[in-house]
Amino acid sequence: MTKREQQVIQLIAEGYTNKEIALKLNLSAFTVKSHVHNILEKLSLQTRVQVANYAHIYKSYRDADPDISLIEE
């Protein structure tokens, strides 16, 4: 996952829309849409809700043990 995709995942988990993410990260809405598409593909997910769930689960694991990496196993 790229650094930008990680930022987009976090903002999706916080409930931001693509337009709001674009404004917050100073990107076009089309670029955010592309990032969301890439995220869904990389994680084999189909919805933004699933991305948000992934982010919350991943964060809870990271908070429990900062040495755990779910992405690079």
Domain ranges of the chain: 3-64
pTM: 0.80
27, 73 contact by CB (below 8 A): no
Level-2 CATH architecture, domain 3-64: Orthogonal Bundle (1.10)
Banded pLDDT at 37 (limits 50, 70, 90): very high
Q: How far apart are CA 61 and CA 46, in angstroms?
A: 22
Q: Nearest Cα to 24, choosing from 7, 38, 47, 36? A: 7
pLDDT surpassing 70 at residue 34 = yes
How does pLDDT run across 14-32, given as a tens digit for each residue? 999 999 999 999 999 999 9
Looking at residue 58, its pLDDT comes to 80
